[in-house]
Structure 1
Amino acid sequence: MNLVKSTSTLLALFLVGTVVAFTPTRHPFQAAVGRIAIPGATRIRPDGLPLRYRALDDQDDDSAMLQVQTRTPPGYDPRKAVGESEFPTAPGGDDAPGRRRLPRTAMNTRLILALLLNQGLVLAVASTLAGAALFATSGGLAAFGNLNELLRWTGTGPDVWDLTITGERLLWGIGGALPLLVLNAVWESSDDRRLANINFSTIAMVMTLFGRRTALPDEFRPASWKGQTLPTTTGGQVALQSLVLSLVTGICEETIFRRELPAVLRSFGADPVSAMIGQAALFGLGHVQPTAKAADNTVVASLQTVNGLGFGLIYALSGGDLVPCMIAHACYDFVVFFQTWTRANDQLEYAERWYKEPLPAGTEQKVRRILQAAQKDPSVLLPRIKRLFYVFDFDQNQSLSLSEVRKGVAYLAMERAGTPPPQPEVDQAFWEVVAQHESDARDDRLDLVDFLRVYSKLADGNRQRLASAQS
């Protein structure tokens, strides 16, 4: 008996460890206020060249690849895969020696296939371990003869093998997804830095998967890409791939977390309420990333635990039916994927369009005077400031609110894998500049000149911190 208990405990720990290690990370957020801008395939770099595709190089950090790394099968190198699928950079025409032919779409099909493969791998491993745990705790081979009852961990429900789609199941699934999507929208609207970091991660992931909707303007391209017809991705292609990813993820993850794990917990003596809480906590834990900061992991785990409780409630309220959970999960993921991609592209196109518009003469003169007084080269900093201003303008109204500045600064630091200025310092710089407004017509927003002043204050603060650290 002790041997059985010890074996059961080891199997359960192994099961939990496997789920934590391999479960794909899909943050709820995920995808910020304008979900915007600064996607994984675009970079804001110290050289001041945001919003452009480019080949991966030695200056790349893991900020954009982090979410991809944790969702792919063991041994799969997303950095290499993304690099190989990048647009060719060799000089000459498409058929020149050393140049790969341009793909027909900007979508990273290899990476999508890797994610689908990982879902199957996770389900296979988790199901095997769950079966071993039930074998050890529920009477050996007899457990498999009673599997239908063991997997109904709430005590009720249809046959576990009945996965037919009915109108009632669709209503439960779609209706159950709505509250979770409302919560997701609330999280996205927050300018809390921890949530902004999660939002940025989703933008990076989605844009790395699906690419751009419109070709990058020539002025944002490396010299070797100018004049070429770069591949793009249509909304229909993204909708189809999002649907496939969402369906596979919904089926696999709901089978693991809303059926197998609670059944294992019940076999160890947990009551239905404890099994409900346990599966949600494990769902949150499964989204933790070993390489992420503790604060970010805490937020991710908390948000995903809430999602796990939501999906668990759908299971319980529908009478122990897993199919509505799968439908709700797939609906949730589809909206996050497709809406993130759409909003990110909307923002990129807005920023690129307005960047090309000439500034009013008075505005440009003010900016140049400020830069010259600070002994900065306007030809270098003016394009950078202008680009960042429109990238951060998530509301697309030609001015920046405090919330937009907070999120923009957080995104910029994430893209550079750096540490952003403390949020109180960002707020102080914002309100100091607002207090200097010559007019009160927009007393809580920044125009381009105001944004330059805030940017300069934050840059000076960073330089002072760096000097202090070095001394």
Structure 2
Amino acid sequence: MKSNSNYLAPVDTSKNDSNKLLASPKHTLGLMALILAITIAGAFNASRSGGGGGGHSSAPASSMQMISVFLFMIGVEWLWVFSIYKGMKNYASSIWDFLDRKGFVPKQLAADVAFGALALVLIYVCSKGVHSVFDPVVATSDANPILPSRPEGFVPVALWVCLSMSAGICEEIVFRGYLQRQLTAFTGNAGIAIVAQAAIFGIGHAYEGVGPVIAIMVHGLVLGLLAHWRGNIRAGIVQHSAWDILAGLKML
């Protein structure tokens, strides 16, 4: 009889073909160029908004503006995943591999939630430490032009939850799924890939300031290590979604 005690054990990633490219190098460079473009656009928007410290002339100030931005961002998140899907399709790779769908059994969901919760606590502690060092005044989501204030009302809150879950799913697919494995194939070194994807993840939020960027890099580093250790991104999706929901509702 097989034992079910291995649900909490790390996955043997040595069996995976880490040298297999998921998509063409051109596709990966295109993704990085897109991240750079988003960074520049975010920095431009933040500068027009007064750097997050004053008025937010270009940030959503009303519920209707928030709803429009949230719907737009949900579309952007899933467009990223569609781009990854199209790039991987030509290499006979599947996004489902990031979730380890073939090896998944329902009992593993408890482990995914448990590891996601532990990662949330660890990242929270690390983020507090980073902000205490780099930000004399701890940065909040007021510095983020996407979310200048706490969503109020049923529809904005519901859409924020949908956006947070979309970000949790889509960004884990993009960064800890596709980019981390693709960089592992490029470099032949999982450690370099984990650090690189975390750096790119943080740089993509450069418009928020030094403290937030470093905190987000740490966030990406922890989730990258977790994804590598577990062999899938499921626990990362749990953590990332919960973090964004709680942060947006001012509960972190």
TM-score, structure 2 as length reference: 0.69
Matched, 1:271 2:183: no
Aligned to 1:245: 163
Aligned to 1:284: 202
Aligned to 1:315: 227
Q: Which whole-Å CA distance do the structure 2 matches of 1:187 and 1:278 have between them?
A: 19
Which of 159, 163, 186 aligns to 2:101? It is 159
Aligned to 2:79: 121
Q: Which whole-Å CA distance do the structure 1 matches of 2:213 and 2:134 have between them?
A: 19
Matched, 1:306 2:238: no
Q: Deviations over 1:17-76 (max 9, x none)?
A: 1233347999xxxxxxxxxxxxx9xxxxxxxxxxxxxxxxxxx9422689xx9xxxxxxx
Secondary structure of residue in 2 paired with 1:108: helix
Which of 116, 127, 130 aligns to 1:173? It is 116
Aligned partners of 1:19 and 1:126 also within 8 Å: no
User: What is the identity, as a one-letter code, of the residue corresponding to 2:232?
Assistant: D
Q: Which whole-Å CA distance do the structure 1 matches of 2:81 and 2:237 have between them?
A: 14
Change (3 A) 1:163 1:303: farther
Task: Tell which structure's C-alpha radius of gyration is larger.
Answer: 1
Number of aligned residues: 224
Matched, 1:14 2:1: no
Secondary structure of residue in 2 paired with 1:109: helix
Change (3 A) 1:339 1:277: same
Structure 1 residue 163 displacement after superposition: 9.5
Secondary structure of residue in 1 paired with 2:147: helix
Change (3 A) 1:279 1:207: closer
Structure having the higher helix fraction is: 2
Higher relative contact order (CA 8 A, sep 6+): 2
User: What is the identity, as a one-letter code, of the residue corresponding to 1:314?
Assistant: L
Q: Deviations over 1:320-379 (max 9, x none)?
A: 121111001011111211116xx9xxxxxxxxxxxxxxxxxxxxxxxxxxxxxxxxxxxx
Change (3 A) 1:150 1:106: closer
Matched, 1:256 2:174: yes
Q: Deviations over 1:308-329 (max 9, x none)?
A: 1111122133x21211110010
Q: Which whole-Å CA distance do the structure 2 matches of 1:163 and 1:17 have between them?
A: 37
Aligned partners of 2:172 and 2:237 also within 8 Å: yes
Taking the TM superposition and a 5 Å limit, the aligned residue runs for 1:377-456 are: none
Structure 1 residue 160 displacement after superposition: 6.5
Aligned to 1:63: 50
Q: Which whole-Å CA distance do the structure 2 matches of 1:188 and 1:197 have between them?
A: 7
Q: What are structure 1's unaligned runs of at least 5 residues?
A: 1-6, 27-39, 41-59, 70-77, 87-104, 136-142, 211-232, 344-471
Change (3 A) 1:334 1:185: farther
Aligned partners of 1:148 and 1:160 also within 8 Å: no
Aligned partners of 1:243 and 1:334 also within 8 Å: yes
Structure 1 residue 118 displacement after superposition: 1.6
Taking the TM superposition and a 5 Å limit, the aligned residue runs for 1:97-116 are: 108-116=66-74
Secondary structure of residue in 2 paired with 1:268: helix
Aligned partners of 1:246 and 1:330 also within 8 Å: yes
Q: Deviations over 1:207-256 (max 9, x none)?
A: 4572xxxxxxxxxxxxxxxxxxxxxx34x666533322211110000000
Aligned partners of 1:20 and 1:288 also within 8 Å: no
Aligned to 2:16: none
Q: Which whole-Å CA distance do the structure 1 matches of 2:170 and 2:28 have between them?
A: 19
Change (3 A) 1:192 1:65: closer
Which has the larger displacement, 254-263 or 115-124? 115-124
Q: Which whole-Å CA distance do the structure 1 matches of 2:35 and 2:133 have between them?
A: 29
Superposed CA RMSD: 4.1
Aligned partners of 1:180 and 1:332 also within 8 Å: no
Aligned partners of 1:188 and 1:199 also within 8 Å: no
Aligned partners of 1:123 and 1:252 also within 8 Å: yes
Q: Which whole-Å CA distance do the structure 2 matches of 1:330 and 1:149 have between them?
A: 18
Q: What are structure 2's unaligned runs of at least 5 residues?
A: 1-22
Aligned partners of 1:261 and 1:279 also within 8 Å: yes
Structure 1 residue 125 displacement after superposition: 2.6
Taking the TM superposition and a 5 Å limit, the aligned residue runs for 1:39-78 are: 61-63=48-50
User: What is the identity, as a one-letter code, of the residue corresponding to 2:204?
Assistant: G
TM-score, structure 1 as length reference: 0.40
Q: Which whole-Å CA distance do the structure 2 matches of 1:206 and 1:309 have between them?
A: 24
Structure 1 residue 106 displacement after superposition: 7.1
Structure 1 residue 112 displacement after superposition: 1.5
User: What is the identity, as a one-letter code, of the residue corresponding to 1:308?
Assistant: G
Q: Which whole-Å CA distance do the structure 1 matches of 2:140 and 2:95 have between them?
A: 39
Secondary structure of residue in 1 paired with 2:249: helix
